[in-house]
Structure 1
Amino acid sequence: MEGLIGPRLYSCSNCRNNVALHDDIVSKAFQGRNSRAFLFSHAMNVDVGPKEDRHLMTGLHTVADVSCSDCREVLGWKYERAYEESQKYKEGKYILEKSKIVKDNW
C-alpha cells in the first residue's frame, strides 16, 4: 500500500507549484523574513536570484532570494556562503517560509 502513495511535498501557497520534498527538511527551527521557516537540503521549481551579503540572526551570510518558477512569489532564500565556521552547514541549503508554502499529497 505504501508504494501507492507518492512523496509528501510542499508547494507554493500562491500557485501550488511543487517546490520541496518533506524528506529534504533539515530543520524546522528557522526564522524567515516574515514567518517561521524550514531549512531544506534541496528545492525544486524555484529560481535563484542574485547573491547578496545579509546580516542575519546568526551572522553575515551570502544569500540569494528564491522565488517560485511559475508565479515568481518570493518563498525564501538560498544560503550561498556562511562566514562563521559554525554556520557552514547551511551552505547550499534553502530557507522556505512556512507562510509561503503548503503541504501537498499528505
Structure 2
Amino acid sequence: MVSRIIIGESGGPTPVIDWEVAGAIDAAQAAGIEIYGMMNGLEGLLNADIEGNVVDLTPMDPMSFVFNGPGAGLRTTRIKPEEAEYKKIARNLAALGVDGVVYT
C-alpha cells in the first residue's frame, strides 16, 4: 500500500508542470496519501538532509500551488546523476519513507 509519495520537476519552467503537481496533490489527498515535493528536482532529493529541499505538500490547496507563480513552483533541474548519486537518492527515499516517485 502506498502511503507517501514525492514529486519533482525537471526541464523548463512552464505553467503546465505546475498543473501536473496540482493534479498529483489533489489525487494524493483524495487517496489519503502523503505527498512531498523535491525542490530543484533531483538536486533537492540528493540533498534531502538540507532543510527546505523536501517540502510537505499534503496540506496544500492544489489550486494555490498553480496560482503561486509563473511556473515550476518546485523549481527544476537538468542534472544527470552519476551511479553513486542514484544510490544516494535511493538511500534518501528510504530514509524519507517514500513509497513512490513522480518525476515530471
Q: TM-score, normalised by structure 2?
A: 0.23
Higher helix share: 2
Q: TM-score, normalised by structure 1?
A: 0.23
Say which one has the larger Rg.
1
- The answer to which structure, 1 or 2, has the higher relative contact order (CA under 8 A, 6+ apart) is 2
Higher strand share: 1
